[in-house]
C-alpha cells in the first residue's frame, strides 16, 4: 500500500489505516553493535576483522537472519532508535512479512563492506563471520535465514557449514555457484574500476562498474517500457537510459569504496556450495527473467538439495532485482515460510 496514492483518493481512510495497522516503532527494541573477530579466512590466512550488526526485536523471539546483495547492510528497516529507512523497509517492520514483533531480526554489514579488508573474501568467510556473531550474541539458533542475491549465496554457505544452528533457509535469486557468464560480466566491471584507478579517479571507475551491474540486475522488458529513443545532443548520441544509469552510478560511489566493491564482487564469483551437503528445509525463490542467476541454476540447486525443498518461480520485469521490487510476491513467500516455522516451533 502506498500512502501517497491512498492519500490522493481517500485521505481520511488512509490516516485511519495508518493508525490502525502501523504500530508505533517505539515499541520495537533495536540495538547496533560491533566486535573484533580474528577470522580464519579461506584464501587470506587469519585476519582481524570488525563485525557490525543490528538486532531488531525482543530477546526470546525466534531469530531471523536477513542478508541482501553486496550493497546491502545491517540496517534493514527503520526503528525508533535508528529511524532512517532500511534497505528492505518493504519486508521488515511491524505488520510486514518479517515482523520484529514476532521475530528477532538480525543482520550485519558484509565483511569487507567498509573497504578496510583488501584481500580475497570468500562467501565461506561471511558464513563463518555470521557463526561467530551468533556466538558473540549468545544466540544458539537462527530459525530462518532469509538471503537475497549474495545473501542467498552466503545463506547456502551457512546452511552447509553451520546447519546445526539453522532451522530453514529462504534463498532468493542466489544459488550454489556463480554462472560463468555472470562472472565474466562482473570481471569486466572490476576492469572498469581498474581503468579508473589508473588515472586516480576511483569514483569514475566504480560509477561505471555500478552502471554495468545495474544492467545485469534489470531486464530488457523493463528498459523497453521505460526508456525512449536516443537523441543527438551536442554532436553525441545520448540513449534513453543514460541519465538513469548515471544517477545509479553516482548514488553508489557516494557510499561504496573501490576496495569494498572489488572484493565483494570477487566474492560472488567464488561461490561454490555442494547442495548435497544441505539437509535442512530450503525455499528457493527464482525469477524467470533473472539474467544474472539463470533459472536453470535454481533447478540444478533444488535437484541436489537433500532436505525438504521448495522452488518458487516468479515472473518479473525487474529480473534479478525482483526481491527489491516485487513487494507483494516476496512478502507472500516470506509470510508463508515464517508462519510454517512458527507453527513448527509451537
Binders in 275-314 for its own copies, by CB under 8 A: 294
For residue 181, state whether it binds its own copies (rule: CB under 8 A). Answer: yes
For residue 315, state whether it binds its own copies (rule: CB under 8 A). Answer: no
The stretch among 65-73, 217-225, 273-281, 328-336 that binds its own copies (CB under 8 A) is: 217-225
* 290 in active site: yes
Tell me which residue of 248, 241, 244, 243 sits closest to 207, measured CA to CA.
Answer: 248
| Catalytic residue from among 71, 79, 107, 149 | 149
For residue 227, state whether it binds its own copies (rule: CB under 8 A). Answer: yes
Cell of 292: 544474472
For residue 223, state whether it binds its own copies (rule: CB under 8 A). Answer: yes
Output the smallest distance, CB 292 to its own copies, in A.
10
Q: Is 239 helix (H, G, I), strand (E, B) or coil?
A: coil
Using only C-alpha atoms, what is the Rg of the chain? 20
The stretch among 59-67, 152-160, 199-207, 275-283 that binds its own copies (CB under 8 A) is: 199-207
CA–CA gap between residue 158 and residue 274 (Å, rounded): 12
Taking the least distance from each CB to its own copies, the nearer of 169 and 207 is: 207
Binders in 236-265 for its own copies, by CB under 8 A: 236-242, 245
CA–CA gap between residue 27 and residue 74 (Å, rounded): 20
CA–CA gap between residue 227 and residue 158 (Å, rounded): 40
The stretch among 29-37, 95-103, 163-171, 210-218 that binds its own copies (CB under 8 A) is: 210-218
Output the smallest distance, CB 306 to its own copies, in A.
23
* 320 in active site: yes
Report residue 23: phi and psi, to 5°. Answer: -65, 155
Extract the runs of DSSP E, i.e. beta strands, from the chain: 30-41, 45-56, 63-67, 104-108, 142-148, 166-172, 231-233, 236-238, 282-287, 309-314
531469530: which residue's cell?
63
Contact predicate 113/126, CB 8 Å:
no
Binders in 117-136 for its own copies, by CB under 8 A: 119-120
CA–CA gap between residue 49 and residue 37 (Å, rounded): 5
For residue 83, state whether it binds its own copies (rule: CB under 8 A). Answer: no
Taking the least distance from each CB to its own copies, the nearer of 64 and 208 is: 208
For residue 191, state whether it binds its own copies (rule: CB under 8 A). Answer: yes
Concatenate the DSSP letters of all residues of 273-288 into one string: --GGG--S-EEEEEET
The site for its own copies (CB under 8 A) is made up of 43, 119-120, 178-188, 191-192, 195-196, 198-199, 201, 204-205, 208, 211-212, 215, 218-220, 223-224, 226-230, 232, 235-242, 245, 266-267, 269-270, 272, 294
Catalytic residue positions, numbered: 149, 290, 320
Amino acid at each position: 500500500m502506498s500512502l501517497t496514492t491512498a492519500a490522493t483518493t481517500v485521505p481520511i481512510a488512509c490516516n485511519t489505516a495508518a493508525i490502525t495497522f502501523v504500530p508505533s516503532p517505539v515499541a520495537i527494541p533495536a540495538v547496533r553493535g560491533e566486535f573484533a573477530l580474528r577470522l580464519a579466512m579461506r584464501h587470506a590466512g587469519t585476519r582481524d576483522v570488525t563485525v557490525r550488526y543490528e538486532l531488531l526485536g525482543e530477546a526470546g523471539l525466534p531469530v531471523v537472519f536477513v542478508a541482501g546483495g553486496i550493497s546491502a547492510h545491517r540496517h534493514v528497516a527503520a526503528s525508533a532508535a535508528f529511524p532512517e529507512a532500511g534497505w528492505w523497509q518493504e519486508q521488515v517492520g511491524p505488520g510486514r512479512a518479517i515482523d520484529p514483533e514476532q521475530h528477532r531480526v538480525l543482520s550485519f554489514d558484509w565483511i569487507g563492506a567498509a573497504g578496510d579488508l583488501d584481500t580475497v573474501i570468500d562467501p565461506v568467510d561471511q558464513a563463518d563471520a555470521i557463526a561467530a556473531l551468533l556466538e558473540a550474541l549468545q544466540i544458539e539458533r537462527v530459525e530462518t535465514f532469509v538471503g537475497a542475491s549474495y545473501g542467498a549465496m552466503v545463506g547456502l554457505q551457512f546452511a552447509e557449514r553451520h546447519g546445526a544452528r539453522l532451522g530453514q533457509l529462504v534463498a532468493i535469486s542466489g544459488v550454489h555457484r556463480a554462472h560463468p557468464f555472470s562472472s565474466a560480466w562482473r570481471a569486466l566491471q572490476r576492469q572498469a574500476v581498474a581503468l579508473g584507478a589508473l588515472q586516480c579517479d576511483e569514483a569514475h571507475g566504480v560509477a561505471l562498474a555500478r552502471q554495468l551491474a545495474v544492467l545485469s540486475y534489470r531486464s530488457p522488458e523493463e528498459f523497453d517500457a521505460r526508456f525512449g529513443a536516443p537523441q543527438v545532443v551536442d554532436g553525441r548520441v545520448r540513449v534513453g537510459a543514460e541519465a538513469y544509469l548515471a544517477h545509479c552510478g553516482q548514488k553508489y560511489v557516494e557510499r561504496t569504496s573501490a576496495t569494498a566493491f572489488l572484493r565483494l564482487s570477487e566474492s560472488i564469483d567464488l561461490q561454490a556450495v555442494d547442495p548435497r551437503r544441505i539437509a535442512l528445509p530450503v525455499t528457493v525463490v527464482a525469477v524467470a527473467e533473472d539474467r544474472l542467476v539463470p533459472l536453470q541454476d535454481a533447478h540444478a540447486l533444488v535437484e541436489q538439495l537433500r532436505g525438504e525443498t521448495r522452488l518458487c518461480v516468479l515472473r518479473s520485469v525487474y529480473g534479478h532485482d525482483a526481491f527489491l521490487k516485487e513487494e507483494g510476491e516476496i512478502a507472500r513467500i516470506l509470510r508463508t515460510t515464517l508462519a510454517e516455522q512458527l507453527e513448527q516451533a509451537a
